[in-house]
């Protein structure tokens, strides 16, 4: 089946959506975000700082959209910028401004005059009045040449698929019949999926609430509901009251695969921000210990549980050191939501594909192996451990499990209903995940 290309022109931010000053200000804010990412910083961190310091929520939202647009199209606009510059540009905010403005111009060529003008204004607002001529020259040159330049760049695989070549090669090798679909899905806007709290109401009852609120949606099975169009959290009926949470369909698989039962002791390892912790407690009356090494993110576990009116023992600790949280009683169930390359969720974090390197999967693999080896002894005899990642790379998934089974012959892999070997690839309804359910034979 021939793949359909996702181009820079898909779902862009419209220049006409802002007044002229607002677009320039949004470019300034986006310039800082994209510039920081180009220096190796996480998009999530840069956006969090922006939301904390932006003078208005609307400005932060506009800058976020511009930043996402630039990073989703980075494999094209970055190459185009290098071709247009006479010498390398080392000023990160200025480079971020040009990338954001070029991505917007490619998305909205009919608004070229406004985009170019506001990009030049943004250079002044950035304090780069001397760079006005550079920004103006680059933007006008790109405007003149992009009809010829973009198809030429998109003829290359990194330009066509908006991923580094090593990433493309790895997926082609791992998924010969699906690699193009995985790449294209990873460039689309992600679905917004809700998890209905079964302790509060049924799927049909919540769908009725959505319909009354004018929010079209459909069920995906179990507790999952897919919105036809994303909406702001505050518009979701019952969200504040804990009737519903935002959680991807694939992520919702974890709690059900873990199979918690009333009265069990459950460990949620690497638990922040607590989505899976809450789901476990919605499914069963059990004793849950939720552990994460990140103190700030651990606070979000408590916040999510408070909104759901559920309780767990929340601990800040390194899951590779069970003495940080283990009291000597074995756990009946353990969820290891291991740190990974996040290669299955890059449409939500488009910076990842440009910040990651091929060797990173191996580095994550060492941490994953340490987690599994450290947590296996605290699992009860005949207990189940669910290993989970949001990766599509075998080094972090099937190969990790295979190595673990060699080290621990007392472990056996249990079948996963409807999931085959446990790999979920990105699609219109889910991000990419991997699961393996291990039982400790007595």
Residue numbers annotated as active site: 390
Give the separation between CA 64 and CA 48, rounded to whole angstroms.
Answer: 10
Using omega within 30 degrees of 0 as the cis cutoff, is the peptide bond preceding 182 cis? no
Alpha helices in 91-164 (DSSP H): 92-107, 112-125, 132-154, 157-161
DSSP class per residue in 318-376: -TT-GGGT--SPPEEEEEEE-----TT-TTT-TTHHHH--TTHHHHHHHHHHHHHHHHG
Residue 107 and residue 23 in contact, taking contact as beta carbons nearer than 8 Å: no
CA distance 186 to 356: 15
Residue 415: both structure tokens together = 């079948």
CA 135 to chain centre: 32
Residues with Cβ < 8 Å from 60, sequence gap 6 or more?
Answer: 29, 50, 51, 54
Six-digit token string for 79: 């190459």
């Amino acid at each position: 089946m021939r793949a359909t290309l996702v181009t820079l022109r898909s779902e862009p931010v419209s220049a006409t959506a802002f007044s002229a000053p607002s677009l320039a200000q949004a470019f300034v804010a986006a310039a800082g975000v994209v510039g920081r990412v180009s220096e190796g910083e996480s998009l999530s961190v840069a956006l969090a700082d922006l939301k904390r310091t932006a003078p208005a929520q609307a400005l932060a939202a506009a800058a976020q959209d511009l930043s996402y647009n630039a990073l989703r199209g980075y494999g094209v606009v970055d190459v185009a910028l290098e071709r247009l510059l006479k010498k390398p540009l080392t000023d990160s905010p200025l480079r971020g401004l040009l990338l954001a403005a070029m991505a917007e111009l490619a998305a909205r060529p009919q608004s070229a005059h406004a985009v170019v003008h506001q990009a030049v204004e943004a250079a002044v607002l950035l304090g780069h009045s001397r760079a006005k001529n550079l920004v103006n020259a680059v933007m006008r040159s790109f405007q003149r040449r992009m009809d010829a330049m973009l198809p030429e760049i998109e003829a290359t695989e990194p330009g066509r698929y908006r991923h580094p070549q090593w990433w493309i090669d790895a997926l082609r090798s791992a998924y010969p019949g699906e690699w193009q679909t995985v790449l294209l899905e990873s460039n689309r806007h992600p679905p917004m999926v809700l998890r209905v709290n079964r302790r509060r109401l049924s799927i049909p009852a919540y769908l009725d609430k959505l319909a009354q609120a004018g929010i079209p949606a459909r069920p995906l099975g179990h507790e999952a509901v897919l919105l036809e169009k994303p909406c702001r959290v505050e518009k979701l009926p019952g969200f504040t009251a804990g009737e519903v949470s935002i959680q991807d369909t694939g992520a919702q698989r974890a709690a059900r695969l873990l199979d918690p039962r009333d009265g069990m002791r459950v460990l949620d390892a690497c638990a922040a921000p607590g989505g899976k912790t809450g789901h476990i407690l919605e499914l069963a009356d059990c004793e849950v210990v939720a552990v994460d090494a990140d103190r700030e993110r651990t606070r979000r576990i408590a916040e999510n549980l408070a909104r759901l009116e559920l309780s767990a023992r929340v601990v800040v600790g390194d899951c590779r050191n069970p003495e940080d949280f283990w009291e000597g009683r074995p756990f009946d169930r353990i969820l290891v939501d291991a740190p990974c390359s996040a290669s299955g969720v890059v449409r939500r974090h488009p910076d990842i594909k440009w910040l990651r390197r091929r060797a990173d999967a191996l580095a994550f693999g060492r941490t994953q192996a340490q987690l599994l080896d450290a947590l296996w002894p605290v699992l009860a005899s005949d207990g189940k451990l669910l290993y989970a990642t949001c990766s599509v790379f075998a080094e972090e998934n099937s190969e990790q499990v295979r190595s673990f089974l060699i080290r621990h012959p007392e472990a056996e892999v249990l079948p996963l209903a409807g999931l085959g070997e446990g790999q979920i690839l990105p699609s219109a309804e889910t991000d990419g995940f991997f699961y393996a359910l291990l039982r400790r034979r007595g």
